[in-house]
Structure 1
Amino acid sequence: MSSPHDKAWSDFWARNRQSGQDGGCLPAKWQGIDAQQRAAWYRFAQLLPRNARVIDIATGDGRVMAWMLSKRRDLKLQGVDMAPELPDPPKGTKFRAGTTMESLPFPEGKFAAAASQFGFEYGDVALAAAELARVVAKGGKIALMTHRIDGPILEHNLRRREQINWVFETQDLFATAKRSLAARSAGLQLLAPKIKHCPAEGARLFGQGSAAWEISEAIRRTMIMGARQHSVHVAQTLDMIADQARNEIGRIASLEAACKQTSDETKFLQALEKGGLKQSSIEAVVEADSSQPFADFRILSHS
């Protein structure tokens, strides 16, 4: 059975697919980050032997595999992810959903290399390292792109969490909407002033397109468009919006925890060593138009 945490990531990838987004946890204005990620994986792909089998840990939508395959058509790429549901894999690759990095269903030495972008640090590092050390053949290459606690990805998502909490806690907007629905039973059809005005206030405080504006506007539209619908159906739509927002809060919490894992470099390296891996190199990854690193690119090998 999948956990709420796993479902949060399934929902995240599903929404990305439906909206056509390709930026992971970042807005479109940071496409320079995407370009630097792609370049790092292009370089790694060129290091691998011909026809190498590669496992991509926490594959998500499979973008790392797609990038690598675009440079090396001979690679045999297998993605795994704990999310119980994933989008369709990129052509020429395979997915295995509902699979944790701490318990990989593959024999010893099956892969010549392993990759993970913003995934490995979400798990139990020592256990995940031990599994990679087991399924990657001796002498194989392992590359990780890991989050930084001082990077723009966490910064952006913490702001979104603040905005979501503004809707839930400061404005108590979902409860206000439910009270408005209850008032309908008494024949009162007026829309609560808070529901009318919160989208504009959210935009003023946090910006147009912010989570504060986005969610409060979704609530406002649901109430207006549902004026002639049965209250039960309107309540179900409100619950769906609230569940998606809570899932995002859960996803951001897991992102924050992952950043904390890599922020203590000594502890992180010790966990790798415990699992049978050692770090050969680490390189800060920086967007072309910024001096602020957003990730670290690590090359590991068997210890």
Structure 2
Amino acid sequence: MSGKPQDEKAWGEFWARNARKGGGGCMPQRWAAIEQAQQAAWKGFIERVPGTPRVLDLATGDGRVLAWLMHMRPGIEATGTDLAPQLPPPPPGAKVMAGVAMEELPFDDASFDAITSQFGFEYGDTSRSAMEVARVLAKDGRVGLMVHRGDGPILEHNAVRREQIGWVLSEKDLFTHVRNALASDDADGALALATEVTREGSERWGQTSPGWEIPEAVRRTLIYGARGSRQQLLGTLDQIEHQAGNEIGRIDSLGRACAAADDRDMLMAHFRDAGLALIDTTEVCEPSGRAFADFLTLEWA
């Protein structure tokens, strides 16, 4: 996760919720094939790192890359950092540090034999982060970065979600209308509004979409919340709206990260300035053959 304020807020809250749940991730769980392709890419990377390496995973999130690497290469010294102030529990045997920016790593020079990042490096200040990667990388070390692609299915999937969330929050302005109805003591009118938007969302996108899920959550809140206090009901509505807005923030953050990763000339220039050279680029693909990421391997020039 990057040091940009808008990204820090969006992803910080995401990982805080996942910490309370005991783990998670930012892609749909049904995308098991994508995760398998990710693991295969990391297996190819770690097999080319000799010995029992000291590994640093940047923007580690729930530590899944460290968990994979530790399984593939038992005995590695695994460390992860993330800017989020609260993270899920780390993989057993790994050391994970929250609240750490990629641009200011709290490690001595040449502390790690391998530095990794999966959908994380491109969220930060890539110029400053590249310099820090070079500083803490051992002289025979290797860097592996799995970066987003703007033409891939991950951004495409999330762009559709953003459209649907924006439809509920902005075009329908559901929360404003519901609150106005409640302020006028028109609970039936508020429920009718939520029911109508739920119906529209279902017809337009289906009942697995945020265009249906968000108004349906509002509708159920109005039904069951009527049994409690008005303050509790309004508080629940605030929470639903906040989480929807936070998801928009994460998707916007993803879009900026894709743009940073796609500007490959600039990204590589930052690493060249730091003394590192790109030695391999591999597409990471879903079963259809469509690439959802690029895997970049770098070494000292």
**TM tier, smaller:** over 0.9
Secondary structure, counterpart of 1:190 in structure 2 = helix
Partner AA of 1:275 in structure 2: A
C-alpha distance in structure 2 between counterparts of 1:160 and 1:134, whole Å? 39
The residue that corresponds to 2:294 in the other structure is 296
1:190 alignment partner in structure 2:
188
Contact 1:26 1:156 in 2 (8 A): no
Contact 2:15–2:87 (CA<8 Å) still a contact in 1?
yes
> Which residue matches 1:98?
99
| Structure 2 CA distance for aligned equivalents of residues 3 and 237 of structure 1 | 26
User: Counterpart in 1 of 2:12?
Assistant: 10
Is residue 151 of structure 2 the alignment partner of residue 153 of structure 1? no
Structure 2: how far apart are the matches of 1:179 and 1:85? Answer: 36
Specify the SS of the correspondent of 2:85. Answer: coil
How is 1:1-303 mapped onto 2 (pairs within 5 angstroms)? 3=5, 5-16=7-18, 22=24, 24-184=25-185, 188-192=186-190, 193-287=192-286, 289-303=287-301
User: How big is each residue's C-alpha offset from its partner over 1:121-177, in whole Å with a ceiling of 9 and x where there is no partner?
Assistant: 111111111000000111201100000000000001111111110011111111122
Percent identity, aligned pairs only? 46
CA offset at residue 87 of structure 1? 0.5
- Is the 8 Å Cα contact of residues 23 and 62 (structure 2) preserved in structure 1? no
Distance (Å, rounded) in 2 between the aligned partners of 1:75 and 1:258: 29
SS of 2:30 mapped into structure 1: helix
SS at match of 2:75: coil
Stretches of structure 1 that go unaligned for 5 or more consecutive residues are none
| C-alpha contact 1:7 1:84 (8 A) present in aligned 2 | no
Distance 2:43 2:184 in 1: 59
Over residues 64-109 of structure 1, what are the superposed CA-to-partner deviations in whole Å (9 max), with x where a residue is unaligned?
A: 0000011111101100001111011011101100111000000000
After TM superposition, give the deviation of residue 252 of structure 1 in Å.
0.9
Q: Which amino acid aligns with 2:254?
A: L
- TM-fit CA distance, 1:21: 7.3
Q: 1:209, 1:18 → 2: CA distance?
A: 24
For 1:171-197, what per-residue CA distance to the aligned partner results, in whole angstroms no more than 9, with x for missing partners?
A: 11111221122122xxx4314322112
Question: Could you say what the CA RMSD is over the residues aligned between the two structures, in angstroms?
Answer: 1.8
| Cα distance in structure 1, aligned partners of 2:77 and 2:202 | 47
TM-score, with normalisation over the residues of structure 1?
0.93
Is the CA contact (8 Å cut-off) linking 1:25 and 1:153 kept in structure 2? Answer: no
1: CA distance, partners of 2:164 / 2:68: 33
Alpha-carbon distance, 1:4 to partner: 5.2
Is 1:167–1:216's contact at 8 Å kept on the other side of the alignment? yes
